[in-house]
Structure 1
Amino acid sequence: MFKRLFRRFVASSDFPATAPESPFIAVGDIHGCVDLLERYLGLEPGDPLVCVGDYVDRGDNSAEVLRLLHARPDIICLSGNHEEMMLDFLKDPAGSGARWLRYGGLQTLASFGVAGVTETSSADAMAQARDQLQDAMGPDLITWMKRLPKCWQSGNVAVVHAGADPAQSIENQTEKVLHWGHPDFAKATRTDGVWIVHGHTIVAEPTATRGRISIDTGAYATGRLTAALIEPGKTTFETIT
């Protein structure tokens, strides 16, 4: 059994209304919670889906999440900072391994059947774990991850992972900002009328206010995965538990 919780938000007059070219759904950070993702997809949501990134780490089933999304070219998948850390580990296990494992990489390795390494392991052990992970993932999945876009936009609504610099156009955002956020994102209101849909920062409830739509409800910790149906002039939140 699971519950579908709905909340609706209609833009106030202090920021232009959402005006996507057509309705679409943005899905928050999944973090290895394949059961919640499968439940939502099983509802046949209908409108195009855009996932905000952070498919791996912390939850127990990162491998299953990646394989499911890789097999669904109809779903638009963006990259998040946890995909960045995972790819950094594949490229430089000795230099990047400790950080990734500290932020949930251990669970991702386990989901691919890789064990025997911790954040304090030697460079040789990290390299061995990297080699095992590469073999378990296969080249197609790795290439897919490397090619994930950082941003997707429809009309005056842009979907990113962590946020955007309010002083820069969407086209001029850096990968670092899109993956890790910007100190002014939650403080300053954009002047170009573009709404930013994002995850990365866990919120108790999804919100849509002053150009920011926040949809990370901490699926791995709370058991609640949130999706936002974004239409002209309104946003409807749906939380799967």
Structure 2
Amino acid sequence: MRLPLFRHPIPPPAPATPFHAIGDVHGRLDLLAPLLRRIARRGTDHPIVVLGDMIDRGPDSAGVLRLLHHWRHEQLVCLAGNHESMMLGFLADPVRHAALWLRNGGVETLASFGIAPPDLATPGAAADCAAALSRALGPMQDWLRGLPLRWSSGNVVAVHAALDPARPPGTQDERTLLWGHPRFATTPRRDGLWVVHGHVVQDAPSAEGGRIAIDTGAWFTGRLTAARISAGAVDFVTNDG
């Protein structure tokens, strides 16, 4: 699906090269793998940017991480989302961060690695669980800790959640990039940038007002969306489970 973009009072998107952005996967390996193959069949080496929230809620976060960690594409970029941030917080300080992560999909991620969730009332259980997850992640843990928070090409910026519309991309707070900003959806930017993002579930992907929203709630809707962004055009591809 291609949307007209020139009706907006801002310049159309103009990345340096066409690229694909993929919305929140949330453990849906069954949707991600065929979508990546579909993109690869186009025979292009253009960048592929995964917008974070690769894990939690869906059934196979372990499989998603393994696939993306080992995917043989020189220009694959995975961004950090708030769910990766929560998991890394749990690994760093299990007692402090376990409850938040577990109630937001961490239980499903642990299950995908064959790890039972901890009984938080039992002393040491959270730490033991974090140690087991650290062993299961192996070298993927360092990869996850090094994920960037944003990626840009031309006048298009890719982030997980949002940009503060009043600040340049390079001066954003980490929390805004991961969790969102109250004025992002209503206040247009004045610098001509387009922001492609996930984080907030949409009934359908959209491209308007300088924002390209592609989180279609894959973990519960069975619809994982990618956007192909090129000079003056945005094409959406949704993989239905």
Structure 2 residue ranges without an equivalent (≥5): none
- Partners of 2:213 and 2:121 in 1: how far apart? 36
- Residue 16 of structure 1 is matched in structure 2 by 11
Q: Does residue 1:27 correspond to 2:22, yes or no?
A: yes
Q: CA deviation at 1:42?
A: 1.6
Aligned counterpart, 2:177 = 178
Deviations 1:121-179 (A, max 9, x none): 434111111011111111x1100000000000000000000000000000101111000
1:11-30 Cα shifts (integer Å, max 9, x gaps) = 32412110100100000000
Preserved CA contact (<8 Å) 1:7 1:238: no
Q: Which amino acid aligns with 1:86?
A: M
Give the Cα separation in 2 of the matches to 1:231 and 1:121. Answer: 52
Give TM-score scaled by structure 1 length: 0.94
Q: d(CA) in 2 for partners of 1:155 and 1:206?
A: 21
Deviation at 1:200, TM superposition (A): 0.2
Q: Quick one: which amino acid aligns to residue 176 of structure 1?
A: R
CA distance in 2: counterparts of 1:10 and 1:123, whole angstroms: 56
Give, as a single letter, the amino acid of the residue that structure 2 aligns with 1:108.
T
Q: Which amino acid aligns with 1:96?
A: H
Any idea what SS the aligned residue of 1:10 has? coil
Q: CA distance change for structure 1 residues 155 and 34 in 2, over 3 Å: closer, same or farther?
A: same
Could you tell me which amino acid in structure 2 is paired with residue 90 of structure 1? L
- AA of the residue aligned to 1:190: R
Contact 1:11-1:209 at 8 Å conserved across structures? no
- Structure 1: runs of 5+ lacking an equivalent: 1-5
Deviations 1:24-72 (A, max 9, x none): 0000000000011111112224332100000000001001101111112
Pair 1:98 & 2:99 matched = yes
Corresponding residue number in structure 2 for 1:127: 127
C-alpha distance 193-143 of structure 1, shift in aligned 2 (>3 A): same
User: 1:203: which partner in 2?
Assistant: 202
Residue type at the aligned position of 2:91: L
Q: What amino acid is aligned across from residue 87 of structure 2 in structure 1?
A: M
Q: Tell me whether 72-81 or 16-25 shows the greater mean CA deviation.
A: 72-81
3-state SS of paired residue (1:237): strand
**TM-score by structure 2 length?**
0.94
| Identity within the alignment, % | 48
SS of alignment partner, residue 90 of structure 2: helix
Q: Partner residue of 2:34?
A: 39
One-letter amino acid of the counterpart of residue 129, structure 2: A
In the alignment, the residues of structure 1 paired with residue 8 and residue 117 of structure 2 have an alpha-carbon distance, to the nearest angstrom, of 56
How many positions carry a matched residue from both structures? 234
8 A Cα contact 1:93 1:123, kept in partner: no
Whether the aligned pair in 2 keeps the contact of 1:161 and 1:198 (CA below 8 Å) is yes
Supply the AA of the counterpart residue of 1:122.
Answer: T
The residue number in structure 1 matching 2:54 is: 55
Superposed CA RMSD: 1.2
CA-CA distance at 1:7 after TM superposition: 4.1
1:55-204 to 2 correspondences below 5 Å: 55-72=54-71, 74=74, 75-117=76-118, 120-138=120-138, 140-204=139-203
Aligned-residue offset at 1:221: 0.6
